[in-house]
Amino acid sequence: MIPAARQAVSSAGALSTGTGYASCHHGEILQGVFRDAGGRRCAGLVTLPMSGLGSHAEFVRDPSTPPEELSVFPENRTKACRAAALAVEECARRRREAPCGGQLRLTGDIPVGLGMGSSTSDVIAVVRAVADSYRLRLLPDTIARLAVRAELACDPLMLDGRPVLFAQREGRVLEVLGPALPAVVVVGCALGGGAPVDTLSLPVRVHDDEDVRAYERLRALLRRAVAAGDAALLGEVASASAWRGQKLLRHAEFDVLTDIAKGIGAVGVQIAHSGAVAGVLFDPAFPGIGPRVRACARALESSGIPATRTFTTFPTTKEFLHGSAHRGIDRQAGSDTP
């Protein structure tokens, strides 16, 4: 692998290496249909950020090659390859240069197919790496525009964790909800044995005016939760959104998951709208939060729901997360999934 330090091969047609990184998320807190500032309906979502896992990209730009000579490793990362070509076109235009080819390498540790934004993470890391090779830093709205073109819909990972209502099919922010989500502890798990969800096979649900009003009410509640740092209200919104999502996803373990959450004193549950990843949400201010978290992981396991990892939406010490609940079980990243 070519090191991150830039490498000049010759004064004419020099190779230039750029690197980029993007984190993942843990599914959605809220997902549905909302109205934008102009009153138009559009699909939108609010993701639950999760640090520690992500995609790394390295792009070696070669001005001596035509733009169609663009290789990617692993070879099955087709969305990432499209993103690289689009980013080269964008950056070359800004530098007033001709687009060229190059070599792209991706590495990462995000589980694929669970609804954690692995493909968007790849795409954003690639766009940042290409821009870095041109000595450019693209703004988030530009990255979002390129990401939507590369994969038709994207998650708001280019915003680095800020809670926003994001129109995933249009690549634009509908509302900035605040500086940070309320503090919660999340016990992650995988429904359906962790099998990928083929969203293309799901029936298309038509949302009526009552659906839109319901989602707008949840949007208002989430806005209040963020402003007040209210973990309980955040859990209420996430649970309501997860329940509405079951009209399409129909996870067999949903009732078991919610029963465990209620019985152990959690504030709610959240589920990815395009995968099997889910989380039980706890208010860290509750007495005995450590034993609650560990008891939750045990209850999930005994019910046949694999516990994956425990994390927080706030900075904390390692000791806070250590224990039997912090399994740290992750799958190797693989190819793009529908």
* pLDDT value of residue 128: 98
Q: What's the mean pLDDT in 55-72?
A: 97
- Checking if the pLDDT of 57 tops 80, the result is yes
The fraction of the chain above a pLDDT of 90, given in percent, is 77
Q: What is the distance between the alpha carbons of residues 33 and 108, in angstroms, rounded to a whole number?
A: 32
Q: What is the distance between the alpha carbons of residues 70 and 199, in angstroms, rounded to a whole number?
A: 29
* pLDDT value of residue 165: 98
SS3 state of residue 232: helix
Q: What's the mean pLDDT in 159-180?
A: 93
**pLDDT tens digits along 212-267:** 999 999 999 999 999 999 999 999 999 999 999 998 888 899 999 999 999 999 99
- Checking if the pLDDT of 328 tops 60, the result is no
- Checking if the pLDDT of 270 tops 90, the result is yes
User: Rounded to the nearest 10 degrees, what angle do helices 209-228 and 231-249 cross at?
Assistant: 150
Mean pLDDT for all residues in the chain: 88
* pLDDT value of residue 285: 94
* pLDDT value of residue 194: 74
- Checking if the pLDDT of 268 tops 50, the result is yes
Under 8 Å between Cβ of 31 and 273? yes
Weakest mean pLDDT among 37-51, 92-106, 214-228, 324-338: 324-338
* pLDDT value of residue 318: 57
Q: What's the mean pLDDT in 281-287?
A: 95
* pLDDT value of residue 319: 56
Q: What's the mean pLDDT in 188-197?
A: 83
Residue 194: which of 251, 255, 137 has the closest Cα?
251
| Strand-strand pairing, 101-108 and 70-73 | parallel
Tokens of 13: 């047609």
The fraction of the chain above a pLDDT of 70, given in percent, is 87
Domains and CATH numbers, the chain: 16-174 (3.30.230.10), 181-321 (3.30.70.890)
- Checking if the pLDDT of 207 tops 90, the result is no
Q: What's the mean pLDDT in 132-153?
A: 97
Cβ neighbours around 153 below 10 Å, total: 17
Under 8 Å between Cβ of 106 and 55? yes
Tell me the sheet residues that pair with 18: 59
Q: What's the mean pLDDT in 157-163?
A: 87
Q: What is the distance between the alpha carbons of residues 181 and 161, in angstroms, rounded to a whole number?
A: 9
Residue 312: which of 332, 295, 293 has the closest Cα?
293
- Checking if the pLDDT of 110 tops 60, the result is yes
